[in-house]
């Protein structure tokens, strides 16, 4: 049974973020619940260790109180994702946030080609973040430039893919599991993978399953967290 002091001293909360929720929404929900139930001070600290897009579900690590100092350390750990790349088409955002803007042939794509192509992405790679991302350029976020129809030059950055496993092939869908370093954009990986297959690709499902030793299997949804907090004995 947790007390107000426990949350002020610091807790690491594992949340299974639902689809369509923003990471900000999830943290705000927890902040509201904890402050209300435990009568915590206005300046109560809470934050997450790594954003998940609204179109992604899975592990969101939330730190409270003094443990917010651990956020940078947690963010730097290896991450694992599972998801689906749909080949044969691309979108400007590299995922389902925007409409399909181009289509490509997929008849030549075989299981052997897919498996062989994953090898190109193992180890340290150069990756360009999606134009629809929160990275800042000239004082504005990239997605703000994109929505305003402004052309922006995006600089590629180094990232590391430790594992890239194909778990299901049912063209045009390809399911995968990836372990990668901080700063990897799985949307960019989907786009680049489609290109490497001499086709196109975009991300149609994404779930974060691990950050370091933290596993989504041990996480709870915001709804369950609310029930736990507001239960009579909590």
Q: What tens digit of pLDDT does each residue of 154-170 get? A: 788 999 999 999 999 99
In angstroms and rounded to an integer, the radius of gyration of the C-alpha atoms of the chain is 20
| pLDDT band, residue 129 (cuts 50/70/90) | confident
Options 53, 95, 192, 215, the catalytic residue = 53
At residue 138, the pLDDT reads: 60
At residue 133, the pLDDT reads: 62
At residue 207, the pLDDT reads: 98
At residue 146, the pLDDT reads: 56
Q: 58 near 52, Cβ under 8 Å?
A: yes
Token pair, residue 200, equals 């196109």
DSSP element (H, E) containing 87? strand 79-87
- The average pLDDT across 139-165 equals 76
| pLDDT band, residue 36 (cuts 50/70/90) | very high
Q: What phi, psi does 40 have (nearest 5°)?
A: -80, 155
Token pair, residue 215, equals 């596993």
Residue 53 among the catalytic residues:
yes
Nearest Cα residue to 194 out of 100, 54, 53, 64: 100
| pLDDT band, residue 88 (cuts 50/70/90) | very high
Residues 147 and 143: their CA atoms lie apart, in Å, by: 6
The contacts of residue 149 (CB under 8 Å, 6+ apart) are none
2 vs 199 pLDDT, higher one? 199
Residues 189 and 155: their CA atoms lie apart, in Å, by: 15
170 vs 147 pLDDT, higher one? 170
């Amino acid at each position: 049974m947790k007390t107000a002091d426990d949350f002020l001293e610091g807790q690491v909360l594992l949340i299974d973020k639902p689809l369509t929720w923003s990471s900000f929404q999830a943290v705000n929900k927890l902040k509201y619940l904890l402050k209300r139930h435990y009568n915590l001070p206005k300046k109560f600290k809470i934050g997450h260790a790594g954003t998940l897009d609204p179109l992604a579900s899975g592990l969101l690590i939330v730190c409270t109180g003094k443990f917010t100092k651990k956020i940078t350390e947690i963010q730097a750990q290896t991450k694992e994702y599972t998801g689906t790349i749909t080949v044969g088409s691309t979108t400007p955002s590299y995922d389902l946030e925007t409409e399909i803007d181009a289509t490509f042939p997929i008849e030549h794509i075989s299981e052997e080609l897919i498996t062989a192509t994953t090898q190109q992405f193992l180890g340290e790679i150069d990756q360009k973040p999606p134009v629809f991302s929160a990275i800042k350029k000239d004082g504005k976020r990239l997605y703000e430039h994109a929505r305003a129809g402004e052309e922006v030059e995006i600089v590629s950055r180094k990232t590391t893919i430790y594992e890239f496993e194909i778990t299901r092939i049912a063209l045009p869908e390809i399911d995968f599991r990836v372990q990668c370093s901080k700063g990897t954009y799985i949307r960019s990986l989907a786009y680049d993978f489609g290109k490497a297959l001499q086709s196109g690709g975009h991300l149609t499902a994404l779930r974060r399953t691990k950050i370091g030793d933290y596993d989504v299997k041990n996480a709870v949804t915001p709804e369950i967290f609310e029930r736990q907090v507001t239960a009579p004995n909590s």
